[in-house]
Amino acid sequence: MNICMIGAGYVGLVSAACFSEFGWNVTCVDKDPQRLEELNAGKSPIYEPGLDDLLQRNMQAGRLRFTNELGPAAKAADVILLAVGTPMRRGDGYADLSYVYAAVEELAPHIEGFTVIVTKSTVPVGTSREIEERLRAARPDAEFAVCSNPEFLREGSAIGDFMHPDRVLVGVDDDRGRAVMNRLYKPLALRNAPVMFVGRESAELAKYAANAFLAMKISFINEIADLCEVVGAGVQEVASAIGKDRRIGDKFLHPGPGYGGSCFPKDVSALIRTARENKSPVSIIEQVQRVNDERKIAMAHRIEAAAGGSVRGLTVGLLGVTFKPNTDDMRDAPSLTIVPMLQERGATVRVVDPQGRKQADPLLPGVIWCDSALEAAEGADVLVTVTEWNEFRGLDLAAAKARMRGDVLVDLRNVFSAELAHAAGLRYTAVGRKPDESDLAPARAALRAV
């Protein structure tokens, strides 16, 4: 089977590499010369565990190629997948489909024989039909079917998600198109992965609904965490208790500084916009978005309170800046709100992240970059966990305390044990757990002085 993947970003690159692992011939088309140079050298321009090995193996086998020439790849393809960006549009929060439609316009002259055009990008309801209309207008002579095949890949575990999916969702209204898509995913079906065929609109909406629901669980547990702190409950105990209910499940019930990344913020926003335009508002999801935006701001205030009411003149050591571990993605990361707020209030910020520096450096001007968690703790008055990288879980808190000038540890991911933190001589603040009175005393004293 010959596949043309338009776009070598996160979704396109991971999908292209995995399809080639099936044994299909995949040509990935991208216009970024620097990205193509890295890819043709067998190196992924994004950090994703296992991706470099997958690329190199299939390139050496001759099944995976990268080019900036769309024509030859599209003409030879049985399936053309659109995996271009659909960022949040400025002003109204809707998905920007300009890259999708530009790709459609460019590929139209090159369709030869029956070809299936697949939207792999996350697109609003009705986009597949709009693509079909545009292609019919540009190529009334062409034989093709347009399908929706949204991805459900988690950054940091995308290859495993592709190879062992909960489900493969295909929106298709054409029998020939369905037969081609069935063949495309046959290797997964043979492993008993459920391949679901639904209507195109259903597939498009299901992607947004899934991400909005997961975002809702995050905002929900963050609000419950705040309530736990007030009433003396422990959010981890509460989350564990409700997560045992199979109707709820234990995923995405971990409190923290709010969600970020390439999907949740823009997909929640796009779903809200779609609902409003169709006069069927999703008020619950609108509240999810508000809670998340406010959450990131509240975390900066939490750090300030733990420091005694002000961070002016203090040094804050920050562990992690990416929106989640095992990725270098900085899109809508909580750190992009927290760090500038701390700087505006007069703090010096020392930062460490195992993979995020390249992407984060231009986004976080003025921070001091460190090579380890202990280096970030050097001279710090406050140490803050923002991203739960595994490297930080094993941090020797006593050694960190010895490097610090102060004694405050603010754990926004509940990575550490309060007992171990106290044993190391640290005043410990977590999320969703009532602080010890001894930890609150300095902040209360500072407030009384004001």
Full strand arrangement of the beta sheet holding 195-198: 64-67, 25-29, 2-6, 79-82, 115-119, 144-148, 168-171, 195-198
Contacts of 368 (CB under 8 A, 6+ apart): 348, 349, 350, 351
* Known catalytic residue at 4: no
386-444, pLDDT tens digit by residue? 999 999 999 999 999 999 999 999 999 999 999 999 999 999 999 998 766 555 555 44
Integer Cα distance of 371 and 167 in angstroms: 40
* CATH 3.40.50.720 assigned to 2-198: yes
Q: Give the Cβ contact number of residue 167 at 10 Å.
A: 12
Show the tokens assigned to 126: 């009705």
10-65, pLDDT tens digit by residue? 999 999 999 999 999 999 999 999 999 999 999 999 999 999 999 999 999 999 99
**Catalytic one of 4, 147, 263, 370:** 263
264-300, pLDDT tens digit by residue? 999 999 999 999 999 999 999 999 999 999 999 999 9
Spatial CA neighbour of 120 closest among 2, 3, 40: 3
Per-residue model confidence (pLDDT) at position 439 = 54
Per-residue model confidence (pLDDT) at position 438 = 52
Integer Cα distance of 67 and 286 in angstroms: 41
With b for 16 or more beta-carbon neighbours within 10 A and e for fewer, the 53-88 pattern comes to ebbbebbeeebbbbbeebeebbbbbbbbbbbbbbeb
Residue 196 predicted with pLDDT over 70: yes
Contacts of 237 (CB under 8 A, 6+ apart): none
Integer Cα distance of 5 and 239 in angstroms: 41
Q: Looking at residues 210-219, what average pLDDT do you find?
A: 97
Q: What's the start-to-end Cα distance of the chain, in Å?
A: 71
Q: Looking at residues 90-98, what average pLDDT do you find?
A: 81
**Annotated binding residues for substrate, as ranges?**
152-155, 207, 252-256, 260, 324
Integer Cα distance of 343 and 349 in angstroms: 7
Integer Cα distance of 262 and 248 in angstroms: 25
Per-residue model confidence (pLDDT) at position 31 = 94
Longest dimension (CA), the chain: 79
Contact 222, 255 (CB under 8 A): yes
294-449 CATH: 3.40.50.720
Q: Give the Cβ contact number of residue 162 at 10 Å.
A: 22
Integer Cα distance of 335 and 388 in angstroms: 13
Residue 192, classed as helix, strand or coil, is coil
Dihedral of CA atoms 338, 341, 343, 344 in degrees, nearest 10, equals 170
Q: Answer yes or no: same fold for 2-198 and 294-449.
A: yes
Spatial CA neighbour of 380 closest among 411, 347, 418, 354: 347
Question: How many residues would you count in the chain?
Answer: 450
Count how many Cα atoms sit within 13 Å of the Cα of residue 409 in the half-sphere of its side chain: 33
Query: If you search the block for the tokens 């460019």, which residue do you land on?
Result: 106
Domain boundaries, the chain: 2-198, 294-449
